[in-house]
């Protein structure tokens, strides 16, 4: 059968677009020296490469339908320096499908005190190996129901220490899908480390540990319910937090047809002197058919977990305060721990979303999980967190570490 004329036209159009795609390079010694100029010149399907260096006040709005933007070599730094695109942030994505990798966003400010390193109005955005430091909001999305945001292997740190607004490190609005994996969040202040109103939020294999100097409120919040899959994370609240709740679900109201909270194989640590609520669900504000499942979580510190949660709970274990140490990355059970093997493993066929397949690897990233002889509760089956060469402790991002 011969292909139809419309199909031939689509193929020819795709080939033509591919042939016309260009690579634009930005840098002090390049023909294009400003990122804003590259944003104006780039066409759909192009690739923008950014040379190492610090780009001060070089903010941009990206209006293409598809584009890839990458820092090359040592991660280039975008320093807001008092400038903001459309009064919103360092970069604004107006729509389309974008990929961003190996860029650092610093110091975003706006007149509404909600300046973002990246503002995603709508569309699809994939972020990898980026750093967001000292922004009023690192990433902020709009409320477009078709928007998707995927974040991998990135660092979110150092919210501004002011009370002009609640500076969440990552804030997803009412979008279709949020995925965050292999990333690190620390140094919050009054706002949350990660807040999501998405219909579906997948938070896997991250280090959400506020740190000694952090003062975040919630570590994770899902105020409008939705499907929230929280698997294989280390979640730590500092003793300076003004809130006793670490993971919050449904605090405002439900706006999505499906509401399900899954907490599986996470390690949760409360360093405060007050008893914590490791997780809290506002059942009265959610539909009657809302599902809550917790499985094989490891908890350390003073506080309550499944005793105050609705739903079904299996294989969770509470340790004494101080049993796990955030500063030294001591998040794993000893090899001879009696808790190894004391889990309730979900079925890999009917409950696959509860089974971890990776572990966080410091400073960012993941390592495939080797199935152990005896499963342990918590985020790590190995004897300890895996450090990359040259990594030690919990240093803040700096030019030397990039």
Q: Where are the domains of the chain?
A: 23-387
Q: Token pair for residue 138? A: 């690192």
The beta strands (E) that lie in 291-342 are given as 291-295, 298-300, 303-304, 312-314, 317-319
The hierarchical CATH code for the domain 23-387 is: 2.160.20.10
Strands 366-368 and 358-362: antiparallel
Question: For residue 327, is pLDDT > 60?
Answer: yes
> Which residues does 5 contact at the CB level (< 8 Å), separation at least 6?
none
Strand pairing report for 207-209 and 184-186:
parallel
DSSP state of 354: G
Q: Comparing C-alpha atoms, which of 252, 263, 146 is closest to residue 199?
A: 146
Whose tokens are 């450090």? That residue is 387
Cα separation, 213 vs 239, in Å, equals: 9
pLDDT surpasses 70 at 156:
yes
User: At 317, is the secondary structure helix, strand, or coil?
Assistant: strand
Q: Before 21, cis peptide (omega within 30)?
A: no
Q: In this predicted model, what pLDDT tens digit does every residue of 187-242 receive, in sequence order? A: 999 999 999 999 999 999 999 999 988 899 999 999 999 999 999 999 999 988 98
Which residue reads 């939020």 in tokens?
201
Average pLDDT (371-393) is: 77
- Tens of pLDDT, residue by residue over 111-138, are 999 999 999 999 999 999 999 999 999 9
Q: Helix %, strand %, coil % for the chain, to 5?
A: 10, 35, 55
Give the model's confidence band at 390: pLDDT under 50 very low, under 70 low, under 90 confident, else very high: low
CB contact at 8 A, 349 and 377? no
What distances in angstroms separate CA 389 from CA 62, 328, 361, 382, one per listed residue? 36, 16, 11, 18
Distance CA 200, CA 177 (A): 5
Whole-angstrom distance, CA of residue 134 vs CA of residue 101: 19
Task: Give residue 397's pLDDT band: very low, low, confident or very high (50, 70, 90).
Answer: very low
pLDDT digits (tens, 9 = 90+) for 250-296: 999 999 999 999 999 999 999 988 899 999 999 999 999 999 999 99
Most distant CA pair in the chain, distance: 74
Q: Which residues have CB under 8 Å from 230's CB, separation 6+? A: 203, 204, 220, 247, 261, 262, 263, 264, 266
**Lookup result for tokens 């400073």:** 363
């Amino acid at each position: 059968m011969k292909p139809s004329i419309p199909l031939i036209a689509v193929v020819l159009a795709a080939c033509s677009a591919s042939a016309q795609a260009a690579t634009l390079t930005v840098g002090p010694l390049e023909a294009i020296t400003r990122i804003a100029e590259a944003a104006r010149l780039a066409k759909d399907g192009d690739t923008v490469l950014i040379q190492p260096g610090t780009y001060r006040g070089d903010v941009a709005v990206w209006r293409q339908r598809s584009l890839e933007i990458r820092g090359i070599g040592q991660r280039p730094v975008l320093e807001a320096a008092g400038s903001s695109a459309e009064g919103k942030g360092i970069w604004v994505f107006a729509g389309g499908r974008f990929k961003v990798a190996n860029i650092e966003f610093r110091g975003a400010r706006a007149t509404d005190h909600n300046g973002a390193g990246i503002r995603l109005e709508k569309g699809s955005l994939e972020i990898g190996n980026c750093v967001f430091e000292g922004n009023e909001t690192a990433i902020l999305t709009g409320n477009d129901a078709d928007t998707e945001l995927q974040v991998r292997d990135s660092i979110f740190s150092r919210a501004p220490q002011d009370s002009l607004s609640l500076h969440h490190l990552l804030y997803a609005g009412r979008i279709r899908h949020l995925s965050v994996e292999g990333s690190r969040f620390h140094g919050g202040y009054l706002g949350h480390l990660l807040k999501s109103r998405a219909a579906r939020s997948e938070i896997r294999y991250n280090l959400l540990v506020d740190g000694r100097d952090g003062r975040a409120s919630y570590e994770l919040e899902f105020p409008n319910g939705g499907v929230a899959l929280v698997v294989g994370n280390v979640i730590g609240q500092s003793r300076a937090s003004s809130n006793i709740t670490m993971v919050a679900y449904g605090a405002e109201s439900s706006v999505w047809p499906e509401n399900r909270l899954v907490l599986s194989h996470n390690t949760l640590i409360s360093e405060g002197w007050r008893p914590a609520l490791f997780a809290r669900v506002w059942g009265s504000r959610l539909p009657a058919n809302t599902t809550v499942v917790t499985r094989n979580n490891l908890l350390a510190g003073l506080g309550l977990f499944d005793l105050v949660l609705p739903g079904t709970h299996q294989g969770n274990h509470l340790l004494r305060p101080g049993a796990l140490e955030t500063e030294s990355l001591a998040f794993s059970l000893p090899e001879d721990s009696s808790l190894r093997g004391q889990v309730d493993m979900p079925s890999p066929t009917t409950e696959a979303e509860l089974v971890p397949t990776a572990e966080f690897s410091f400073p960012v990233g993941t390592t495939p999980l080797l199935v152990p002889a005896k499963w342990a509760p918590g985020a790590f089956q190995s004897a300890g967190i895996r450090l990359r060469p040259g990594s030690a402790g919990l240093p803040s991002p700096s030019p030397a570490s990039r």
